[in-house]
Amino acid sequence: MAKEVQKAAFDIEARAKAVVAVDTGTLRRSITSVISNGGLTGTVGPSVFYGKFIEFGTRRMGARPFMRPAAHAVLPKFAQAVAAALRGLR
C-alpha cells in the first residue's frame, strides 16, 4: 500500500508542476510531496504562501487551479491500484 501512496503522491506532484502557471518558477519549485505515517499518507502541495491564492483565486483574480486537476487525474488510478492490492490480500 505504501508503494501505491508514494507513486500517487509523486504523480500528482509531477502533474501539478506541469500545469501550474509560471511567472518566476518559484511556485512550481515549491510543489513537493511528503510521505508520512509509515508510507500510508502522502501530502502534496506548494510551500509558498500564495499557492492557495493561485489555486482558489482572489476577488481581483480568478482561480488558476493546478493541484485539484492533478489530483483528479491521478486519484482514479490510485483507487484502482489500492483495490487491486486489497484483492491480493485475500
Question: Which element (helix H / strand E) includes 69?
Answer: helix 67-87
Per-residue pLDDT tens digits of the chain, which is 90 residues long: 899 999 999 999 999 999 999 999 999 999 999 999 999 999 999 999 999 999 999 989 899 999 999 999 999 999 999 999 889 887
Rounded CA separation 40/56 (Å): 27
Please tell me the pTM assigned to this model. 0.92
Q: According to the model, what pLDDT value does residue 68 have?
A: 97
Instruction: Return the pLDDT at 52.
Output: 96
| Buried b or exposed e, range 28-56, using 16+ CB within 10 angstroms | bebbebebeeeeeebebbbeeeebeebbe
